[in-house]
Amino acid sequence: MKAAAHPNQALRLETLRKYDILDTEREPEFDEVVQLASRICNVPISVVNLIDEDRQWFKAEVGIGARETPLATSICSHVILSEDYVEIHDTQLDPRTADNELCTPADGLRFYAGVLLKAPNGLPIGTLCVLDNKPNALDDFQKSTLHTLARQVMRELDLRLALKNQKILRNEMDHRVKNSLQSVASLVRVYKSRARPGVDMTEAFDAIGRRIEATAALHELLHDSPLENAVSLDAFLGHIAQLLEDSAPPGVRVHCEAGAVAIPTSTASAIAVIVSEFVANSIKHAFSDGQPGEIWIKGSGQVEGGLEILCEDNGGAAKRPEPAPGSVSGLGKRIMAASAAQIGAHLENGPTETGYRMSVSLPA
């Protein structure tokens, strides 16, 4: 009787294939396991068996002489639908195996004992099993050893998967760092192109420093983030706000309120540039004479799936001076606009009754 498909078959197969183990060469780490299982259980056959979509494939085996067989003759395809351990004392008396063409001959497979190989998500990807050509039964020591060896197989598979994922993550992080450094380098080139003899470039260096700090904050959060290629808005904006307050004059406070919304790294980077420039502009024009003040940064997700960032200060209602054409200040304003355009955001800013306000709206 052919076994039914696992009730969570699609995810089970996806889990199996993540291990990237199917159709690989034989390896001592697994061969030694089946050899030991065969000897301890005193049976001629032992297999590390992985149940694929239309076949069972043997990563290691003794006593079979093949690397795969069809699911129609697979005892293990029944076992993955059962509890962690299955023992069939006589296959000709069990309805799951009585008509199996590998079990019906006089010298066929008459005994089976198998332990599930379970991934961390609880789904079975195969078994470690032992078989005999006569009815049989395992004692408690043999059963315990089979369970221990099955755990050893899964530890080996999980370790390999972890190393594979670590390599992928390292390559991805290297790529992110490269892109971030290119972004900072581009900013340096832009400011350098505007440099003129006798022009104070302190503001330009401050802007570059803010970009570097924001980039470092982004990578720090990415390193610890459970999200893939994304960070949480509240953690990221909070970190940026703290960096900005640390560099602000005494008496200037930077407050932050944001929702726990996942945002892509490219969006986070652009938001950091825009927010940093707003805060720098507030400090320069509203609180440059040592007066105390407050700046608010707010970020929230919208019902329709978009994102809104609001920045305000209480530095007075006077209109901020327009930067001179070609000046460093004017360039900073254009970089804010370019950063908003980069992520498809709409940027508005202007005076309020008590200070200055900027809004950045991102569509879904």
| Residue 43 burial (C-beta neighbours within 10 Å; 0-12, 13-18, 19+) | buried
Question: What are the residues facing 309 on neighbouring strands?
Answer: 299, 360
Nearest to 190 by CA among 81, 334, 286: 334
Q: Is the sign of the CA dihedral 144, 149, 152, 154 positive or negative?
A: negative
Structure confidence at residue 188 (pLDDT): 62
pLDDT at 194: 57
In the 8-state DSSP scheme, what is residue 291? -
Measured distance CA(336)–CA(350) in Å, rounded: 14
Q: For position 330, what pLDDT does the model report?
A: 58
Q: How far apart are CA 222 and CA 242, in angstroms?
A: 17
Contact present, 127 and 69 (Cβ < 8 Å):
no
pLDDT at 290: 73
Query: What is the reported pLDDT for 328?
Result: 44
- What confidence score (pLDDT) does residue 45 get? 95
pLDDT at 64: 92
pLDDT per residue of the chain (364 residues) written in tens, 0 to 9: 688 889 999 999 999 999 999 999 999 999 999 999 999 999 999 999 999 999 999 999 999 999 999 988 999 889 899 889 999 999 999 999 888 888 988 889 999 999 999 999 999 999 999 999 999 999 999 999 999 999 999 999 988 888 777 766 565 555 555 555 655 566 566 655 655 665 555 555 665 665 566 566 555 655 555 556 677 888 888 888 887 787 778 888 989 898 888 888 778 878 888 888 888 778 777 787 778 888 899 988 876 777 888 999 888 766 555 555 544 455 567 777 877 888 888 888 888 888 888 888 888 7
pLDDT at site 318: 60
